[in-house]
Amino acid sequence: MLVPGPVRIIGTGLIGGSLGLALSAAGVDVVVQDVSPGTQALAVEMGVGRAPRPGDPDPALVLVAAPPDVAAQLAVEALARWPRAIVADVASVKTTVLAGIVAARRAGDLDEDALARYVGTHPMAGREVAGVIASRGDLFQGRPFVVVPHGSTRPEARSILRALAVELGSVPVEMDAATHDAAVALVSHVPQIMSSLLAATLVDGPEQALGLAGQGLRDTTRIAASDPRLWVEILGANAAAIGPVLRDVRERLEAVLQALSSLEGDPDPGVGSRRALAGLIADGNRGVQRIPGKHGGAGDAFTTIVVLVPDRPGHLARLLTEIGQIGVNLEDLHLEHTLGKKVGLAHVSIERAHESLLTQALRERGWTVAES
């Protein structure tokens, strides 16, 4: 075990629950604590950790898995209650949490040693569903785990949190709080807003139009099915970093609207409008190429093959079983139903090096694999 125990997890939602599952599987003594007795009991039943017991030793590490609006207060309470524990929060916004803890130190609620025992973190993983019931012990594998030390952080605290990242199968990355918040505004918070905006246009959309929806719409709206209460807190806490990114989006959108307006009034207004639209699409291509792959490497290390799957019980399970028998690791899977046909499309993401092997092997087993 790389992480010393006991570990106390305060908050057993998706992230707290997944942390507990991963650490418990590694043999760490995990104690779970939640404001909701029912949620805490469910976490214990799921194997996230055990309930607190009288006479428990003080934790070596406390992980505060709570939204940004309460994370600082819970961290302050943990630092005061367990004077030898390293305390970390996993909230997705770091400057406001750190500011709250520094304010408690200045108010005399914490001593300098307590401040030194705190370090912020942010495991860059999640799902579009919330709650402990959605927890997964492998949620963090291959994902960046941001360690956010401050000027007074003990080297020991930093080392323990880096060890936690490794124990989870994550890739440890260090950033200061402001850099982290600007980064997640760009790659997480604004994408959530854009996905929700797009999905919101579907509320009053004609049923006939929605019946034509394909994988593109599903991909771009997948994260729109997120918890509104949690995201209100996240967006509010990181408003200063989100604003500049959204203003850049607004400028690009206004340019698109202007170009479309010109084309609507005159189908041949000159090259300017078409150039503006082509420029946006080209910029999008360049942006996509900069997104790292699953494990932080180049994005083109992975590819997707499309397999036709009969829309009958057992066929998808058979496909997944046979991919495993062929010896190819499934990186991701998206399903798409074709309108009016009793067949689905399985978009199977794999390492590019295995594309030919898997395609040939599946065809030999009777599967129809679309030509790339």
| pLDDT digits 0-9 by tens, 189-241 | 999 999 999 999 999 999 999 988 888 898 899 889 888 988 999 999 999 99
Q: What residues pair up with 304 in beta bridges, in sequence order?
A: 349
DSSP 40-52: HHHHHHHTS-B--
Which of 76, 63, 59 lies closest to 110 in space, CA to CA? 76
Query: Could you tell me if 119 and 161 are in contact, meaning their C-beta atoms sit under 8 angstroms apart?
Result: yes
The CATH architecture of the domain made up of 7-175 is 3-Layer(aba) Sandwich (3.40)
Quickly name the fold that domain 299-369 has: Alpha-Beta Plaits (3.30.70)
Q: Can you give the pTM of this predicted structure?
A: 0.77
Query: Could you tell me if 77 and 62 are in contact, meaning their C-beta atoms sit under 8 angstroms apart?
Result: no
Q: What residues pair up with 351 in beta bridges, in sequence order?
A: 302
Which of 147, 75, 81, 145 lies closest to 115 in space, CA to CA? 75
Phi, psi dihedrals of residue 344, rounded to the nearest 5°: -115, 160
Model confidence pLDDT, tens digit, residues 122-165: 999 887 677 898 888 989 988 899 999 999 999 999 999 999 99
Which of 37, 64, 36, 33 lies closest to 50 in space, CA to CA? 33
Domain coordinates of the chain in residue numbers? 7-175, 243-291, 299-369
Model confidence pLDDT, tens digit, residues 107-117: 999 988 999 99
Quick one: pLDDT at residue 160? 94
Query: Could you tell me if 256 and 280 are in contact, meaning their C-beta atoms sit under 8 angstroms apart?
Result: yes
Query: Could you tell me if 348 and 307 are in contact, meaning their C-beta atoms sit under 8 angstroms apart?
Result: yes
For residue 293, the SS3 value is coil
Average confidence score pLDDT of the chain: 90
In this model, does residue 176 exceed pLDDT 70? yes
